[in-house]
Structure 1
Amino acid sequence: MKIGVIADDLTGANASGVKLVRQGFQASTIVHSATLPANSFYDAVIMDTDSRYIEEGVAKQRVARAMEQLQNWGAAIFTKRIDSTLRGNIGAEIDEMLKGMAEDAISIVMPSFPDSGRAMAGGYLLLDGIPLQETYVSKDPIAPIKKSYVPDLIGDQSHHQVGYVGLSAVMEGQESFLNELSLQLQTGARIIVVDAMTNEQIDEVAEALASSGRTVLCADPGPLTASYARAMSRDYAKKANILVAVGSATSLTGTQLAYLIEKTGSTPVYVNPEPLASYSSSWKQEVERATKAALKQAETDRVLIVTTHKPGQELVDLKAKAVQEGKSSDALAKRITDGLATISRKLLTSERVQFAGCFTSGGDVTASVCALGRANGIALKDEVMPLAAYGTFDGGYFDGLPVVTKGGLIGDKKAIYECVKFIETKAM
């Protein structure tokens, strides 16, 4: 899951990025006018529009361009990094970001940053306990802040109605907060300012927003964005599927698959290698049949097992098939692995299923998945166990998707199951 953040200055972008890194994201800041990184290593990008002190119309144009870039990059969640002392074109930039989101998207404005002495109570932003307008920012030479009541300050800059949820609703817990939020939305508000005095209260609001099912644009100096991204990624990982693509024919693989099936309760989709060992129409027919069956199985099995290894099934006589096909045995063996890889590609790119990661067993299968997925390779990050590696696809159709690869003769009976569990922890 990719996070796209738009900031109005570079130091603020860096501050928000560091908080995302601490939540387990691989983040990069992008300076104004630069392009997004081609490196698939990142799952959080913070774009600096350098728009804090420029004319509102120009600021909105820059935000619109940044939104377009983040959408093309594949961001699933968008947030707005705002100045912790509320300088800049905050309301106008929130409006512009909402334009690029779903019609029912809302923005939650939470300027609180307890670790930096920023807290919200009664709708007022306090800096070390002092109302904003009575601090040094009231004397800012470019854009002095003359108000401390945040709903009014944002309302002066936005075309949307601005609502407010007070500290009492936040302190009473998630249900109370969501009830008050619903009441504010019913009045027509699309931007809601929310109080918070502590990091724990920010976390509670983030968890509530993640569970609400609403499309949310967080607008904050960093803490709410980090907590919300963590909560959303955890929920995403719980719902998304994990693909297990196994082409190894060893008896150990059979034992490992049996243990995985026992632990997960998944029903494998068996791919028949016989029609895949061919250059005839049977190859395409089997690929389409297995893909259709797997998409159906993904509706009930979170761990989706697709394999050519079926208990009791005899190995394909590649020498005899080679004579029939007029091809080499090696060429037909590759047709089998390419068939399994093609099924994997169709599944991983399907709009019907979301995948948090995948596991592949067998070097030939892994190589075919990379080739047919047009990946440059795998960005290696960790070792799951000896000869089982964790990384993310670099480039191609699965860019950034977590993957664990393992040889067919590696590990004990628990090996594939442990690899799948490893993917789950990384996805969360």
Structure 2
Amino acid sequence: MVKLLIIADDFTGALDTGIQFVNRGIATQVFTGKPERPAEIAAQTEVLVVDSETRPMTPESAYENVKEITAWAKSLNIEIIFKKTDSALRGNIGSELQAVSDGNREKTLYFLPGYPKMARLTINGFHYIKETLLEHSVFGQDPFEPVTQSYIPDIIRQESQMSLQCIGGDEPLSRISGNPSAVICDIRHQEDMEARVEELLERGQLKLIAGCAALADSLASKIPFHRNAPNQCRQTNGLFVACGSLNRITEQQLIYAQKNGFTRQHLTIEQKLQKGYYDTSAGKAFLQYILETCRKHPQMIVDSMGGEEAMEAYRKKYGISMPDVRRLIPEAHGQIADFLARNHMDITVLTTGGDTLMGYMKLIGCTQIRPVCEIEPGVVVSELENRGFLQQVISKSGGFGTEDVLVRIAEKITNFNK
């Protein structure tokens, strides 16, 4: 029986939140969208994760989508609804919190946005990335979703009319006045998260909650679930990195990996944006080239970074919209991952960027994925089925990880390094 529903706005977020429960042996399912039939939800499932795929939507569309999922959860009498938010507060934060709140007006939503292990802290209602105000961090210059404010109530109010209160890490919930729609809780340390979750449980107020993977970790440890032995990932003969992220943090990770044994291939403008490219003779030859390179070099990167001016000119010449760009680049990476699966390559596919893995799954018509384990903080190993072939995949947010994270993952996941 499902006790907890998690609504994530992208697929990477769905996985790095759901894995916190999988790590503790809690029966968890991850869906790309609301399950169409009740039979798709296993009887033993206690945590259900739904990717609403609302990150690139307009605030209005995101609101309607999340509200529909919330109403569906309420109809199933799911006790706790957890709106997963990005740890850098990208996306439609205000409209999606409003949607969850509107679906359950009798309850207050508690927002615990911090992720102390990743140095993402909330202090006096302001959000920080490694001691830098959010708006002045790398996320303030994000090419798709720049976050231009740091005070969380201001971020929420851009898309919402919710009544808000902020509460300090040392203040008890009894200090809250009136009946706010949402309470924003300071989080400086993981202990702040643990204490707040315990307080909500004791008061019987753990009903509507929002935050990132750090909150999921705390919920997984505090809520009484049935627990089994956790899963383990398997080693494969290689690691293929499909990099759809444009984040500067990811760029430094790619450079470091290339200096430490990885082969790297940049996608051309046509390989990224030409519709139907992979059905052409040039596209088929490129896929074969990638396959042969993977056979010779067990650690390979294919990325879509760089060439912004050329890409902009190509986009304008052929009338390609920015939403099309966000669809075509993940689809290009998906074509390559699909080709590796069709050739039964014993290789783990690591995707970076929230859209990349989803682009692949949409391409092959896959609506479910099985999280296996967390190999690094925020880096999730899963399995999916493609034409009967069981493929091991890894998802990583573009902004997560230290410079050497790809090298460390390769050391853990591949036989090549043993």
Compute the TM-score of the two structures, normalised by the length of structure 1.
0.49
Tell me how far apart the structure 2 counterparts of residues 67 and 86 of structure 1 sit (CA, whole Å). Answer: 20
Report the counterpart of residue 150 of structure 1 in structure 2: 152
Report the counterpart of residue 77 of structure 1 in structure 2: 80
Report the counterpart of residue 164 of structure 2 in structure 1: 162
Where structure 1 has 5 or more consecutive residues not aligned to the other structure, the ranges are 170-175, 238-428
Report the counterpart of residue 387 of structure 2 in structure 1: none
Report the counterpart of residue 20 of structure 1 in structure 2: 21
Deviation at 1:162, TM superposition (A): 1.1
Contact 2:20–2:220 at 8 Å: present in 1 too? no
Contact 1:9–1:49 at 8 Å: present in 2 too? yes
Tell me how far apart the structure 2 counterparts of residues 228 and 209 of structure 1 sit (CA, whole Å). Answer: 11
The one-letter code of the counterpart of 2:163 is Q
- SS state at 1:4 partner: strand
Q: Aligned residue pairs: how many?
A: 224
- Aligned-pair identity (%): 24
TM-align CA RMSD: 2.3
Contact 1:155–1:161 at 8 Å: present in 2 too? no
Tell me how far apart the structure 2 counterparts of residues 233 and 166 of structure 1 sit (CA, whole Å). Answer: 27
- SS state at 1:218 partner: strand
Change (3 A) 1:223 1:137: same
Contact 2:112–2:184 at 8 Å: present in 1 too? yes
Contact 1:104–1:215 at 8 Å: present in 2 too? no
Where structure 2 has 5 or more consecutive residues not aligned to the other structure, the ranges are 228-418
1:68 aligns with 2:63: no
Which structure 2 residues correspond to residues 3-402 of structure 1 after superposition, within 5 A? 3-32=4-33, 34-35=35-36, 37-101=40-104, 103-167=105-169, 169=170, 176-180=171-175, 182-183=176-177, 186=178, 188-214=179-205, 216-228=207-219, 230-233=221-224
- SS state at 1:233 partner: coil
Tell me how far apart the structure 2 counterparts of residues 68 and 197 of structure 1 sit (CA, whole Å). Answer: 33
Contact 2:135–2:147 at 8 Å: present in 1 too? yes
Contact 1:163–1:189 at 8 Å: present in 2 too? yes
Deviation track 1:243-292 (CA, whole Å, cap 9, x = no partner) reads xxxxxxxxxxxxxxxxxxxxxxxxxxxxxxxxxxxxxxxxxxxxxxxxxx
Deviation at 1:77, TM superposition (A): 0.8
Deviation track 1:120-160 (CA, whole Å, cap 9, x = no partner) reads 11221111121111111111222211111112211222221
Which structure's relative contact order is higher, taking Cα pairs within 8 Å and 6+ residues apart?
A: 2
Tell me how far apart the structure 1 counterparts of residues 87 and 64 of structure 2 sit (CA, whole Å). Answer: 23
Deviation at 1:70, TM superposition (A): 2.7
Deviation at 1:194, TM superposition (A): 0.8
Deviation track 1:318-350 (CA, whole Å, cap 9, x = no partner) reads xxxxxxxxxxxxxxxxxxxxxxxxxxxxxxxxx
Deviation at 1:56, TM superposition (A): 1.4
The one-letter code of the counterpart of 1:5 is I
Change (3 A) 1:194 1:97: same
Contact 1:110–1:193 at 8 Å: present in 2 too? yes
Compute the TM-score of the two structures, normalised by the length of structure 2.
0.50
Deviation at 1:5, TM superposition (A): 0.8
Deviation at 1:204, TM superposition (A): 0.3
The one-letter code of the counterpart of 2:205 is R
Contact 1:84–1:113 at 8 Å: present in 2 too? yes
Change (3 A) 1:38 1:104: closer
Deviation track 1:370-427 (CA, whole Å, cap 9, x = no partner) reads xxxxxxxxxxxxxxxxxxxxxxxxxxxxxxxxxxxxxxxxxxxxxxxxxxxxxxxxxx
Tell me how far apart the structure 2 counterparts of residues 165 and 66 of structure 1 sit (CA, whole Å). Answer: 28
